[in-house]
Amino acid sequence: MKDMNLIIAGGTYLTFDKGGRIVPDGALAIRGREIAALGTKDEITSRYSAREVIDASHCLVLPGLINGHTHAAMTCFRGIADDLPLMEWLKGYIFPAEAKNVNPELVYWGTMLAAAEMIRSGTTTFSDMYLFEDEAARAVKQAGMRCLLGEGLFDFPSPNAKTPAEGLAYAERLISKWRDDPLINIFVTPHSLYTCSADLLRQAKSLARRYDLPLGIHLLENEAEKRLIREKTANDALSYLLELGLLDERLIAYHCVALDEGDMDLLAARGASVITNPESNMKLASGAAPVARMIEAGIKVGLGTDGCASNNNLDMFQEMDSAAKLSKVTRLDPTALDAATVLKMATKEGAAALGFKDLGTLEAGKKADIIIVDLRKPHLTPLYREYSQLVYSAGGADVETVIIDGRVVMKNRRLLTIDEVEAMARVNDLAEKVKASLSR
């Protein structure tokens, strides 16, 4: 028998491979950081042995969820300014609160708290745009998560950069420091078309091209932003991106609520990816992104929560449920964005949208990022269709065990890499300072 690091035995396996195979009473063997084999329980346990065997009987086993867009450290601002429109929320509350409070300590502990929340709800990889992202990377490394991180770039001073040149220099140092890390991946992230000059956007693109990295940007989050971009640039957003050389297969665009048919055709033709954030868009009354139409157009579409100041949680199970139902109600079509499609957005298609070729499916040779969902719950009984149960009935609290890069980071609901009590205490202390700054 071949010796493995870990075997998961029993339960039903949702592979998301090309055939969409579902393996009942299955098993999976992990060697190092990768999946070595997947098959029936009898096949795997007769061929492989391991020091640790996890019993997944009465469970669903699937790829770890991928949160395609968030601002992890903003757990520190959860609930700070709810029930406001986007621009008032951003310019009247978030930017001022960040200017007064964001520092390396806040980013480290805010990200650590976010990692605890995400692991607990089945997210194994996330994409992040924020400030002091070297501190975010340190927290993520400690937590044992996988990430794609980018330093937010702006025309105006941020807590971490007085000038755009300083922001770009920080981003380049981040790239150099983490470029060979197995878990920490870096990309280039100008905040948006309305907060970045044409020159900054071109320089950001040049940096991404120089290091062969993706470029992420907020894009057309609502109709007001669409008008703002036209006033600023005398052009529509997609034509402006094309003119600047940003609209290509490296581009990851967040939100994309205010798209028309021509925009979607152009995104598809240029190979760009989109991350939709339905709960944030609903809460800020930004609108509903035409997700089903984007997928029909051939755009790679992933799913994200956005940050905790505009959602207000990082639970991808809730996000899947919202994504499916929002598409159905906006199209007045109950068949729009079915459960299987939404689960792919949070796994296989989410990985493709972020440029991860070795994530998102349970197949030999792929990274061992795996979650186990316990079905022995009243709200998960009975089970007829696995995909529907996960999207419409399950929640993050149903995730029992999480494995990232072949390492067990949560087992039987107990976090193994994060002291969540300390993280919560640290963020509560930081929140007191935030409250005091808002009263001044």
Q: What is the mean pLDDT of each run of 10 residues along the chain (440 residues)?
A: 96 97 98 98 97 97 98 96 87 90 98 98 98 98 98 97 98 97 98 97 98 98 96 96 97 98 97 98 96 98 97 97 98 97 98 98 98 98 98 98 98 98 98 87
Length of the chain: 440
- For residue 70, which of 258, 259, 274, 280 has the smallest C-alpha distance? 280
Q: Which two tokens stand for residue 410?
A: 């949560």
Which residues 6+ apart lie within 8 Å of 419 measured at CB? none
Contact 320, 390 (CB under 8 A): yes
Q: What is the pLDDT at residue 356?
A: 98
Output DSSP code: residue 416.
S
Output DSSP code: residue 420.
H
Q: What is the pLDDT at residue 440?
A: 62
Q: What is the pLDDT at residue 439?
A: 74
Output DSSP code: residue 93.
I
Query: HSE-up of 222 (CA within 13 Å, CB side)?
Result: 14
3-state secondary structure of 180: coil
Count of C-beta atoms within a 10 Å radius of residue 262: 11
- In DSSP terms, 61 is beta-bridged to 13, 372
Parallel/antiparallel/unpaired status of strands 59-63 and 370-374: antiparallel
| 240-246: long-range contacts, CB 8 A cutoff, minimum separation 24 | 240/193, 241/193, 242/266, 242/270, 244/198, 244/201, 244/202, 244/205, 245/202, 245/205, 246/201, 246/205, 246/215, 246/217
Output DSSP code: residue 379.
G
Residue-by-residue DSSP string for 28-68? EEEETTEEEEEEEHHHHHHHEEEEEEEE-TTEEEEEPEEEE
Residues 63, 34, 375, 25, CA torsion sign: positive
Q: What is the pLDDT at residue 91?
A: 87
Neighbour-count burial of 365, counting CB atoms closer than 10 A to its CB (0-12 exposed, 13-18 middle, 19+ buried): exposed
| 371-401 residue pLDDT tens | 999 999 999 999 999 999 999 999 999 999 9
Report the Cα 284 to chain-centroid distance in Å: 19
Q: What is the pLDDT at residue 61?
A: 98
Residue-by-residue DSSP string for 342-367? HHHHTTHHHHHHHT-TT-SS--TTSB
- Residue 205 CA to residue 197 CA, distance in Å, equals 12
